[in-house]
Amino acid sequence: MMSGLFSLDGQKALVTGANTGIGQAIAVALAGQGADVTCAGRRSCAETVALIGAAGGRASDLRLDFADPFAARDVFAGAEYSLLVNNVGIIRRADSVDFPEEDWDAVMDVNAKALFFTCQAFGRALIAQGGQGAIVNIASLLSFQGGIRVPSYTASKHAVAGLTKILANEWAPHGITVNAIAPGYIATNNTEALRDDPARSRAILERIPAGRWGAPEDIAGTAAYLCSPAARYVTGAILNVDGGWLAR
């Protein structure tokens, strides 16, 4: 029987940055497979919760501001979470010769430091409970490439790739898989500046073999897969979901 291969029935998930974009799409997808989803963000995730509820799923809204890297420190103890998706992220743009320290610190705190300490709190609680589970981190094409005018974002997303691998190594014996998704150019708030620049947008589209910007839903299915029993032997992987960008 293969019917349960992708089922998340009985699983409890936390999805960060779930108020919009990729995080919202992932939360909806996990709920669609049967997970009870906590939608976390510094802004209200009421819209996401409503979308899930309208489809017959279960979800709740949790306010967490990951500008504090320890925002999720007390979320997991005793709560029986088995799935974690670290999606929240910010970006700052400036030429590297002018890039300010405050922008460096803000991005690294949210994208790398908060991700690690959220994973730590989740892993600590799950290992103590003796349960199995899955972590999915949202990396980036800039986990592999340098990009332009986003030095702290590039550094942080390289860090996400490395943290995914070390946690996979350490937590595999506990039945916890740790993987990452590297989205290509997805139509979200973070890429609005690029899409609004005709020259940059055209150059990006010309390189994407699929010939289009990705949609948040293009990432959501991969996240649901990595959380599912179908991916129990997948760990330490960084899956490119990029319309073929890195193959070009």
Active site residues: 153
| Contact between 101 and 143 (Cβ < 8 Å) | no
> First vs last Cα of the chain: how many Å apart?
38
Of 48, 54, 2, nearest to 27 (Cα)?
48
Token pair 């992932």 in the structure block, residue: 26
As beta bridge partners, residue 133 has 176
As beta bridge partners, residue 15 has 39, 85
Cα 222 to chain centroid distance, Å, stands at: 11
Token pair 């005709």 in the structure block, residue: 198
Give the count of beta carbons closer than 10 Å to the beta carbon of residue 2. 6
Phi/psi at 127 (nearest 5 deg)? -65, -40
Quick one: residue 243, left, alpha or beta (phi over 0 = left, psi -120 to 50 = alpha)?
A: left
Dist CA 185 CA 91 (whole Å): 14
Three-state DSSP class for 239? strand
Cα 113 to chain centroid distance, Å, stands at: 14
- Using the Cα atoms of residue 24, residue 38, residue 109 and residue 219 in order, give the sign of their dihedral: negative
